[in-house]
């Protein structure tokens, strides 16, 4: 047998780090002892229609579900604290995603080009949204922020600075406010990211 990896539930798992899912496929069932979905684990699994992420998972890696063009919805459990860069990039059939209030950061390009995504709620726990996180989300017309205060757009050149350009985030009381928030979020451009300072 292979000394580095083994297979379970149609998933490739590291023998050296047995809580890490290295690769999956269209028929994978993620075991409930996995804590990390590794970089590129499900990249380009174009027939993956749905998958359950167990609440043992704490991190979703770089490009983990990149190009899963048949994935229609996904629920991220409230054990996850970070969504890495490009995690759901070009999941073009994804219509809804629930971000739990355990997540503190959304990586750059995390949901870019998710062209079927119509609405999203940014929980109070999120204090950083990477550049282009929602760019190309052409159907996104409703964004609600649980905390509308203290948001600024900052550049990666000065990540430790508390300065930046203040962003006026609107409350979710009207459809127009949510539309305005969506437009703002989709317009966050290269090398700039959102950060919240309470």
pLDDT at 56: 96
pLDDT at 189: 64
Tell me if 129 sits within 8 A of 193, measured CB to CB: yes
Residue whose tokens read 């996850």 = 80
Give me the half-sphere count of Cα atoms (radius 13 Å) on the Cβ side of residue 191.
Answer: 3
For residue 147, give both structure tokens: 């905390």
Residue whose tokens read 């994978």 = 28
Q: How far apart, in Å, are the Cα atoms of 50 and each of 29, 73, 98, 106?
A: 10, 6, 14, 21
CA pair distance 156, 192, nearest whole angstrom = 6
pTM of the model: 0.91
pLDDT tens for the chain, residues 1 to 198: 788 999 999 999 999 999 999 999 999 999 999 999 999 999 999 999 999 999 999 999 999 999 999 999 888 999 999 999 999 999 999 998 889 999 999 999 999 999 999 999 999 999 999 989 999 999 999 999 999 999 988 876 665 556 678 889 999 999 999 999 999 888 866 667 888 886
Angle value at C-alpha 36, between 143 and 116, nearest 5 degrees: 30
pLDDT at 192: 78
For every residue of 105-146, DSSP letters joined together read EE-TTTTTT-TT--EEEE-TT--EE-TTTTTT-TT--EEEES
H/E run at residue 155: strand 151-155
């Amino acid at each position: 047998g292979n000394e580095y990896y083994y297979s379970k539930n149609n998933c490739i798992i590291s023998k050296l780090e047995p809580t890490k899912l290295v690769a999956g496929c269209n028929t994978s069932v993620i075991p409930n002892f996995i804590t990390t979905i590794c970089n590129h684990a499900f990249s380009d699994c174009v027939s993956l229609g749905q998958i359950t992420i167990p609440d043992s998972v704490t991190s979703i890696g770089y490009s983990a579900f990149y190009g899963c063009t048949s994935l229609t919805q996904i629920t991220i459990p409230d054990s996850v604290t970070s969504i890495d860069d490009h995690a759901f990039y070009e999941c073009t059939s994804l219509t809804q995603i629930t971000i739990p209030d355990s997540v503190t950061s959304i990586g750059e390009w995390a949901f870019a080009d998710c062209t079927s995504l119509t609405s999203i709620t940014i929980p109070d726990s999120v204090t950083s949204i990477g550049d282009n996180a929602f760019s190309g989300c052409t159907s996104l017309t409703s964004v609600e922020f649980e905390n509308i205060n203290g948001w600024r757009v900052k550049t990666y050149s000065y990540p430790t600075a508390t300065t930046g350009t203040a962003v006026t985030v609107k409350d979710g009381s009207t459809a127009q406010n949510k539309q305005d928030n969506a437009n703002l979020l989709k317009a966050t451009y290269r090398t700039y990211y959102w950060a919240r300072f309470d």
